[in-house]
Structure 1
């Protein structure tokens, strides 16, 4: 697996990373720790070095899982986690008036990072993202507090998740931002329209697309009627009703291009994000899908193929919002 620079602050990661959320939450159905540990360990053997987690994934369980998986091989992995949601005293996400609380107060973020260090069983964390932007706290204050932890050696790099272009600029003026993580795929190209992608390229910030396979839809294998009852995709606006029918035609077109090239639709979708200068973090807990995703790093797309993909999956083509209205409220705009 090829290593690449993520941003311009000296962080090197594998060309394709691994998103670990599904290993610890029920939003994609039940998971199994032993299966997940096998997948994580094999990933390191196959050259994956970049692993993405968050304190909210399984309410700390995912960080603990990665801590177990990487015992004895800490020097071989780059771990990125995310903080920034409020928690109750009993370890649950804090909810006020039916809404999850985003907490960017410096003292809370510092305390959260200390918690992540304990759960990961690590002396330092390579990359810490602010999971969501707290509109009640100036981003300069939050990043200022995080920068002190960089100086102390507790974290290596600072990142932002779902941040608007102006927020990225303001944060970067306080301390260099190494990476920005936002949903991005052939199915969701909003960052090309709202200035985020231009901003990170201008400032030398790495870009990490999450859900680069459109929550599994771009694999061409997703059967929405077979999803587990706890799977949040059952309420995904883009996978429901008329939106589902319209979006299926996009996947069909992408799948046709993949078939002509002799690759899986998922591999084509990942190769496309790499061609945009990004480091995708497709999530999986299955070894077969892990191997399939890793192989995408070796696929080279021609200019003609990229142009054809632009034609069948242009900016704004997907029908429906990428989240429910309630979840879109947490996206910084």
Structure 2
């Protein structure tokens, strides 16, 4: 029986890794995919092993394992370092007879380990990407990121501010322009009046958080969100003079890459739920204070609808270019 080995950090696992694993799987009776863990890993091991396990679950001949990188000494030249790697592989995976890789270290590792090495596309012409490139510019290399991994790299912009400043209209149009989706204010579908209980705000906060987490799985590079859980906290305090502690837990579950604080220099549009039109400056100050209190960076965006669209589009482009 041929037992093969593919190993790496998979930070993140991408289509190049999957092509390598598929190439190896077809040449082995059993294949071990070993994920290396180091103290300075920038993506958590638990998340990476979850990605690998989910992606490789359909293949009964593949075993996914995680191993601490205690066998590597970064102060050594490659020739000496691969002696340590070889000793670890022979000790940890004694039944492996062949390993597969696209890396330059394969030649000295094969020499020290005595294992057969099969190279897969060393120049990376078939899948021209690396995990480093994806971490540095995920938007540019989006098509190489598996669907199960892409939510990690979705950039999220929160359109934030008091009532009647254009959040919903802007979110919808931005999602269209950037060929992605947006998260609406779910409270609009959950309430029929401004009579609330604490449980109502908990339900709203939970639903808003779940809507963002669900939308991350479908978004194309960027996700526009009409409101957030900080907003839910503000209105809980305004209507009930109390904020359910659970809303602060929910706030920590979603990280926004940019906050857009929308100014009140647009006409007030009344509806059945909006009731703070007479307090617009006070409400804007409250929304701004919550960002300042958390030291969250934000952009204050003013002007007409078209001017707001232009400003937010420039912010979005910069975010995608540097992401």
- Alignment TM-score > 0.5, same fold: no
Say which structure, 1 or 2, has more relative contact order (CA 8 Å, 6+ apart).
Answer: 1
